[in-house]
């Protein structure tokens, strides 16, 4: 065992240049290499990718990595290919490839060069891909962003639901599922749907002690946000709005007020979207005003604030979106504007949906309202939602929210006093 441990550290250093594993990475990798099914619940930035990349690089055969977004896959493939001096260590397999490119991927896999094959679930069901994958040596299957399987997750993808039967067709190999979503409901759903009830579960704390959580009443929201951003001039930040129109309007308003800001939403021309994102990553622009389309898989370590112009539809989304702040461990200010009327609008919208979707949506909204209106430690509230106990007095980051720190930085002091007196 110890020889193997030393060996894994050596491989970590060799491929990634890191001297130590983060959190439970080493145990996860050891168990995967020993043929166990594994379920990893780790917050964003916890280092999930390495849990399958490293074992894939040192295993015989090709690991299939199921991932929901083409952009995410491309980033990862480029990163992995940068780790090794060999060509074709990682490939993406999807419908955007032409015949020659697909043949190249297949040839590299057959030649045993390809260690990681990234596929979207909808590609995996393609008959010719399936037939091919049945014939080659697969080391294991990794399912990244596994919460996409669950309707209780924040990013449900119907294509994820059939993964289990597809994987069973391809090979009898260990499966590692990974997610940054850890509500007990989602966890349960994932394990059942993937037939992983007996998997080894590795769960890390979802506490982000360096993030400061604040919820403000949504009054003079434009002015408040401009003021906040001006107080944080030159810092990187994200402003989330629910509608594309609001994204455009508010990005303009920020520009007019001298803030170096750009919009991002799925309705923008692909080129503009990518350009805006890149400018944010390259620090040519300070603030990105975005819908939820922005952020998944984006690894900008020094985002100093995340502002919710509108409250998100679930606490899960809120946690994911605020989680993009302070990934380097430095300051991360999470400011959300809350108006019960916004929630009513969302409820009306849900009323048009099929019953099951509506019920789930309403329950998620209830939890959002509970969080927004609570006077308890926001960190404790969020962590409770993830099935974790948090000590609001001595826990790590206990002082880091409006309800715990005194005085709150942005709130009207009289309002706060009222609140205290009401208690
Ligand atoms: P997740 O998928 O959990 O959000 P990533 O896999 O994107 O996280 O990793 C987040 C960051 O942590 C990346 O920049 C990655 O290079 C870094 N990282 C991962 N493992 C280690 C390690 N053992 N030592 C140092 N940095 C690490
Ligand atoms: Mg990840």
Q: Does residue 411 have a pLDDT over 60? A: no
- 203 phi, psi to nearest 5 deg: -120, 125
- What's the length of the chain? 423
The pLDDT tens digits of the residues spanning 51-60 come to 999 999 999 9
Q: Determine the distance separating the centroid of ligand 2 and the alpha carbon of 66, expressed in angstroms.
A: 12
83 CB-near residues (< 8 Å, 6+ apart) = 15, 16, 53, 57, 89
Please tell me what DSSP assigns to residue 339: -
Q: Determine the distance separating the centroid of ligand 2 and the alpha carbon of 88, expressed in angstroms.
A: 21
State the pLDDT confidence band at 408, using cuts at 50, 70 and 90: very low
- Beta-bridge mates of residue 108: none
Q: Does residue 413 have a pLDDT over 50? A: no
If one residue of 47, 178, 182, 299 were mutated to test the ligand 1 pocket, choosing by the most ligand atoms within 8 A of its CB, it would be 47
Whole-Å CA distances, 90 to 66, 79, 86, 401: 13, 9, 10, 42
Q: Which atom in ligand 1 lies closest to the alpha carbon of residue 12? A: 23
pTM of the model: 0.81
Cβ of residue 44 lying under 6 Å from some atom of ligand 1: yes
The pLDDT tens digits of the residues spanning 211-264 come to 999 999 999 999 999 999 999 999 999 999 999 999 999 999 999 999 999 999
CA distance 25 to 22: 6
CA distance 234 to 237: 9
In the chain, % of residues over pLDDT 70: 94
Residue of the CA atom closest to atom 23 of ligand 1: 21
Q: Does residue 369 have a pLDDT over 60? A: yes
Q: For residue 418, what pLDDT is reported? A: 52
The pLDDT tens digits of the residues spanning 312-354 come to 999 999 999 999 999 889 999 999 999 999 999 999 999 999 9
Nearest by Cα to 348 from 365, 327, 370, 371: 365
CA distance 250 to 234: 18
Give Cα 189 distance to the centre of its chain: 18
State the pLDDT confidence band at 410, using cuts at 50, 70 and 90: very low
Cβ of residue 21 lying under 6 Å from some atom of ligand 1: yes
Q: Which atom in ligand 1 lies closest to the alpha carbon of residue 46? A: 3
Comparison of pLDDT for 45 and 166, the residue scoring more: 166
Whole-Å CA distances, 102 to 108, 117, 132, 254, 298: 10, 12, 11, 45, 27
State the pLDDT confidence band at 74, using cuts at 50, 70 and 90: confident
Please tell me what DSSP assigns to residue 251: H
């Amino acid at each position: 065992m110890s020889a193997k441990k030393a060996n894994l550290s050596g491989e970590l250093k060799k491929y990634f240049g890191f001297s130590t594993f983060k959190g439970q990475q080493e145990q996860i990798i050891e168990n995967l290499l020993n043929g166990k099914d594994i379920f990893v619940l780790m917050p964003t930035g916890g280092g999930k990718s390495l849990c399958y990349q490293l074992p894939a690089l040192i295993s015989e055969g090709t690991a299939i990595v199921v991932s929901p977004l083409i952009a995410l896959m491309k980033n990862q493939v480029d990163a992995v290919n940068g780790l090794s001096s060999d060509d074709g260590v990682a490939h993406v397999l999807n419908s955007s490839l032409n015949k020659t490119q697909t043949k190249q991927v297949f040839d590299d896999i057959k030649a045993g060069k390809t260690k990681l094959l990234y596929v979207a679930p909808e590609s995996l069901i393609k008959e010719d891909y399936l037939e091919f994958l049945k014939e080659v040596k697969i080391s294991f299957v990794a399912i990244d962003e596994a919460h996409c399987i669950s309707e209780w997750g924040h990013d449900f993808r119907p294509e994820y639901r059939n993964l289990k039967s597809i994987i069973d067709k391809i090979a009898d190999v260990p499966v590692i599922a990974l997610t940054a979503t850890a509500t007990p409901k989602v966890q349960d759903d994932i394990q059942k749907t993937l037939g992983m009830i007996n998997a080894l579960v590795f769960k890390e704390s979802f506490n982000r002690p360096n993030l400061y959580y604040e919820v403000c009443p949504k009054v003079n929201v434009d002015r408040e946000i401009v003021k906040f951003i001006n107080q944080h001039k030159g810092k990187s930040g994200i402003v989330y709005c629910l509608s594309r129109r609001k994204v455009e309007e508010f990005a303009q308003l920020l520009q007019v007020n001298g803030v170096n800001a750009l919009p991002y939403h799925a309705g923008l021309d692909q080129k503009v979207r990518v350009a805006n994102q890149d400018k944010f990553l390259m620090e040519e622009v300070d603030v990105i005003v975005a819908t939820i389309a922005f952020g998944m898989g984006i690894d900008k370590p020094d985002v100093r604030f995340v502002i919710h112009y509108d409250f998100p539809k679930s606490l899960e989304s809120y946690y994911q979106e605020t989680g993009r702040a302070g990934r380097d461990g430095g300051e991360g200010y999470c400011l959300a504007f809350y108006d019960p009327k916004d929630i009513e609008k969302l409820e009306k919208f849900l009323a048009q949906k099929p019953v099951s979707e509506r019920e789930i949506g309403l329950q998620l909204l209830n939890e959002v309202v509970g969080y927004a209106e609570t006077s308890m430690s926001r960190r404790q509230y969020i962590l409770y939602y993830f099935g974790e106990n948090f000590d609001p007095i001595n826990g790590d980051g206990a002082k880091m929210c409006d309800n715990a720190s005194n005085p709150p930085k942005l709130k009207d002091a009289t309002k706060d006093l009222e609140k205290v007196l009401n208690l």
